Amino acid sequence: MGRGDLTHVAWARLKPHRPKSSKRGGRWVNHRKVINGILYRLRTGVPWRDLPARFGPWKTVYERRRRSSADGMWDRIFAVVLADADAEGRIDWSMVSVDSTSCRAHQHAAGARKTAPVLPGKRRTPRQHRPDEGLGPSRGGLTCKIHLAGGGGRRPLALLITPGQWGDAPQLIPSMERIRVGRLGGGRPRTRPDHLGGDKAHSSRRNRRYLRRRQIRLTIPEPKNQRANRQRRGSKGSRPVGCDKAIHKRRNEVERTINALKNFRAVATRFDKRAYVFHGTVTLASIRLWLRP
């Protein structure tokens, strides 16, 4: 077992959800070895052709990673891992925080086709392709942004990929809608934390109405311009916004979660052309964080 490879306990959790091999063609390469190769590249960020030979042909590892991102296998495994963690009491619902981080896109991440190619006898699947591919211009080149909702245990609960120039406030509601932690014994999944924390970039009247409607307590500081606008409206303005500094200090937990995610070099620097592939990359990194002891 090499450094960073899956332990026996971690593999026991992932094994039931591995992809089914096709009846046609040759025998598939060992799934555990392939996933260890994907994790090696995720951790080191090496080019696919430089993948060590102990993981098998690099093309096999690359294609398995891409197909798993396309069919949503990483999302399904992430949902199961979250359900297991919730059943074991490892998710701290008392405080969930939201934040975002920008990832520099490598020059090889640009230039993806605008539409999906049509193969003979196949139907086009444009659902996998976005017009922006999660890339946006910045001063230093193309960037993308990861919007993250993290629990008090410093582990990811939901994530969203957007272009780098998109703001944080409009993405708070889509990020919250992605929190769906299933229950092993059946029943409706849990989607609502007890408390939500965020920085000033997530403050807006729309977000506050949304959280109050869902009965989620919030600790989000109010920017000076929003406070001045509210005071200018007088009695027609919204209610005063309070911010408990002691609770707001816990927002560092999501920042530490982002720091742990960006320890994976393939997350800190985006090498993937397609947004759905990079989403699978970040989702796999989140799964790896949950599988750690």
Q: What is the pLDDT of residues 167-204, one digit of tens each?
A: 999 999 999 999 999 998 888 999 999 999 999 999 99
- pLDDT tens sequence across 177-187: 999 999 988 88
Per-residue pLDDT reduced to its tens digit, 259-291: 999 999 999 999 999 999 999 999 999 999 999
Mutual angle of helices 275-291 and 58-70, in 10-degree steps: 100
**DSSP-derived secondary structure letter, 242:** -
- The pLDDT value given to residue 121: 59
Q: What local confidence, expressed as pLDDT, does residue 151 receive?
A: 87
Predicted confidence at residue 167, as pLDDT, reads 93
Distance between CA atoms of 225 and 200, rounded to whole angstroms?
Answer: 11
Confidence at residue 112, expressed as pLDDT on a 0 to 100 scale: 84
137-159: average pLDDT: 91
Average pLDDT over residues 139-153: 90
Q: What are phi and psi of 167, to 5 degrees?
A: -75, 165
38-91 confidence digits (pLDDT tens): 999 999 999 999 999 999 999 999 999 999 999 899 999 999 999 999 999 999
Query: What phi and psi, each to the nearest 5 degrees, are found at residue 121?
Result: 75, 5
Q: What is the DSSP letter of 56?
A: -
If you average pLDDT over every residue of the chain, what do you get? 87
> Between these two residues, 162 and 110, which has the higher pLDDT value?
162
**Residue ranges per domain, the chain?**
93-113+131-268
Q: Domain 93-113+131-268, CATH 3.30.420 — does that match?
A: yes
**Is 80 exceeded by the pLDDT of residue 109?**
yes
Gyration radius (Cα) of the chain, Å: 21
Q: H helices of the chain, where? A: 8-14, 31-44, 58-70, 73-87, 172-177, 205-213, 224-233, 245-248, 252-261, 265-268, 275-291
Q: Reduced to 3 states, what is the DSSP secondary structure of residue 160?
A: strand
Please tell me the predicted confidence (pLDDT) of residue 177.
96
pLDDT, position 249: 83
Give 290's DSSP letter: H
Greatest distance between any 2 Cα atoms in the chain:
73
Alpha carbon distance 220, 226 (integer Å)? 12
The answer on pLDDT for 28 being more than 80 is no
Cβ distance 145 to 163 under 8 Å? yes
Give the pLDDT confidence score for residue 29 in this predicted structure.
60
Instruction: Please state at what angle helix 73-87 crosses helix 58-70, rounded to 10 degrees.
Output: 70
Q: Which residue has the higher pLDDT, 207 or 31?
A: 207
pLDDT in the model for residue 13: 82
Question: How far apart are alpha carbons 28 and 20 in whole angstroms?
Answer: 9
In this prediction, residue 126 has a pLDDT band, given cuts at 50, 70 and 90, of very low
| CA angle, 52 then 293 then 74, to 5° | 60
Please say whether the dihedral angle defined by the alpha carbons of residues 253, 177, 196 and 180, taken in this order, is positive or negative: negative
